[in-house]
Structure 1
Amino acid sequence: MTQEQVAQRLGVSAPAVNKWERGICYPDITLIPSLARLFETDANTLLSFEPELGEEENLAIQREVDRLVREEGYEAGFDYAQEKMRLYPTSDELAIVLTQYLDGSLMLRQIPGAEGYRPVLDDAYARLAKSVVPAVRDQASAMLIAKAMQEERYEDAQRILDGIPDRTVDKEERQAILYAREGKDEDAARTWEARVIRIAADLMGAIVGLIEIALRDGRKDDALECAHRAQLAFEALGQP
Structure 2
Amino acid sequence: MQTRREKGMTQETLADMVGVSAAAVSKWETCASYPDITLLPPLARALGLSVDALLDFRRDPAREEQLAISSRLHQVFDDQGFDAGVRAVEAVLREYPHSGSIKLLAGALYYRYIAAALNRAEDTEQTASDITERCLALFEQGEQQSEETGEKQVSRSLRISMLTMLGRYEEAEALIDSLPPKQGIDSDELRLSLYLAQEKLTEAEQLARRALLTHVGEVSTALMSLTTIARRQKAFAAAHRLVDAYRAVDALFGLDRSNGLLLGIMLAQDEGDQAQALDLFEQYIDTRLAYTLDYRDNPFFAAVQTHVPTRNDIIETHRLTLRAIEEDERYAPLRDEPRFQAALDHLRAAIPAEN
TM-score, with length taken from structure 1:
0.69
Which residue does the alignment assign to 2:135? 121
**In the alignment, does 2:89 pair up with 1:68?**
no
Q: CA offsets per residue over residues 158-199 of structure 1, 9 Å max, x none?
A: 101111223423121121111112121232233223212211
Which residue does the alignment assign to 1:204? 220
4+ residue runs of structure 1 moved beyond 6 angstroms? none
Following the alignment from structure 1 to structure 2, what is the Cα–Cα distance between the partners of residues 92 and 193? 28
**In the alignment, does 2:181 pair up with 1:179?**
no
- Give the letter aligned to residue 189 of structure 2: E
Aligned length: 196
Structure of greater Rg: 2
Which residue does the alignment assign to 2:110? 102
Distance 1:171 1:231, change over 3 A: same
Q: CA offsets per residue over residues 47-78 of structure 1, 9 Å max, x none?
A: 94335622332222122222322333323321
Residues 96 and 140, structure 1, Cα contact 8 Å, conserved in 2: yes
Which residue does the alignment assign to 1:216? 232
Residues 50 and 88, structure 1, Cα contact 8 Å, conserved in 2: no
Q: CA offsets per residue over residues 207-239 of structure 1, 9 Å max, x none?
A: 01100111122111011222345567x49x963
Which structure has more RCO (C-alpha within 8 Å, separation ≥ 6)? 2
Which residue does the alignment assign to 2:181? 166
Residues 65 and 78, structure 1, Cα contact 8 Å, conserved in 2: no
Note the residue ranges of structure 1 that are not aligned, 5 or more in a row: 1-28, 31-44
TM-score, with length taken from structure 2:
0.49
Residues 110 and 131, structure 2, Cα contact 8 Å, conserved in 1: no
- Give the letter aligned to residue 223 of structure 1: A
Residues 50 and 87, structure 1, Cα contact 8 Å, conserved in 2: no
Given candidates 139, 147, 150, the residue that maps to 1:132 is 147
More displaced, 98-107 or 150-159?
Answer: 98-107
- CA RMSD between the two structures: 3.1
Distance 1:171 1:91, change over 3 A: farther
Following the alignment from structure 1 to structure 2, what is the Cα–Cα distance between the partners of residues 238 and 80? 40
